[in-house]
Amino acid sequence: MWVWFGVAALFLLFEMVTGTFYLLLVALGLVASGAAAYAGLTLIWQIISGLVVSLIGLVLVHRYRLSKGHVDTQSDPDVVQDVGQRVIVDAWDENGQARVFYRGANWNARIDSNQPAQPGEHYIQAVQGLTLILRPGPYPLTGTQH
């Protein structure tokens, strides 16, 4: 029983380091397993109770994020400083990719889905790894200035 609570405490510590809600959900599941052990249930029911509590928490967090209109961080201008910045594309290859000069270096770039691959002014829609995802034209200002 105390093993469940000890491991839950470790996951809470890891949660504080990483800042994700997922380790908190695992810790809550481990507490549920500890409570099942305290109630005298067998090991299989202890594991099942931990899994059920963790999965319910995961579903609730997922629904909460969807209800808040979660924005993917790779395209959030408040998180990624490059989103909304202007670049010039000289030419696109047949795969919708290009090399652009941005912030003093050459970057790989690709056109965002369902966008025309034409040379000229583009803005950075998102950053995926070391690749800039571009859209044609100037950055659309919607409430915030960039």
CATH of the domain at 131: 2.40.50.140
pTM of the full structure: 0.51
What are the φ and ψ backbone dihedral angles of 82, each rounded to 5 degrees?
A: -80, -25
Cα 102 to Cα 87: distance, rounded to the nearest angstrom: 7
Structural domain boundaries, residue 109: 74-136
What pLDDT is stored for residue 130 in this prediction?
85
Residues 105-129: b if buried by 16+ CB within 10 A, e if exposed: eebebbbbeebebeeeebbbbbbee
C-alpha Rg value of the chain to the nearest Å: 23
Q: Same domain, yes or no, for 15 and 48?
A: yes
Domain count, the chain: 2
CA distances to 1, 87, 145 from 134, rounded to whole Å, are 54, 9, 19
Cα 26 to Cα 12: distance, rounded to the nearest angstrom: 9
C-beta separation of 82 from 127 below 8 A = yes
Q: Does 131 fall in a domain?
A: yes
Q: Same domain, yes or no, for 58 and 34?
A: yes
140 CB neighbour count, 10 Å cutoff = 9
Q: Does 143 fall in a domain?
A: no
Q: Please report, in tens digits, the pLDDT of each residue of the chain (146 residues total).
A: 889 999 999 999 988 888 777 899 999 999 999 999 999 999 999 999 999 999 999 999 888 878 876 666 666 666 678 888 999 999 999 888 999 999 888 999 999 888 888 899 999 988 888 899 998 988 776 544 44
User: Which of 27, 42, 67 is at the close of a domain?
Assistant: 67
Q: Does 60 fall in a domain?
A: yes
Cα 63 to Cα 56: distance, rounded to the nearest angstrom: 11
Which residues share a beta bridge with 106? 101
Q: Same domain, yes or no, for 46 and 96?
A: no
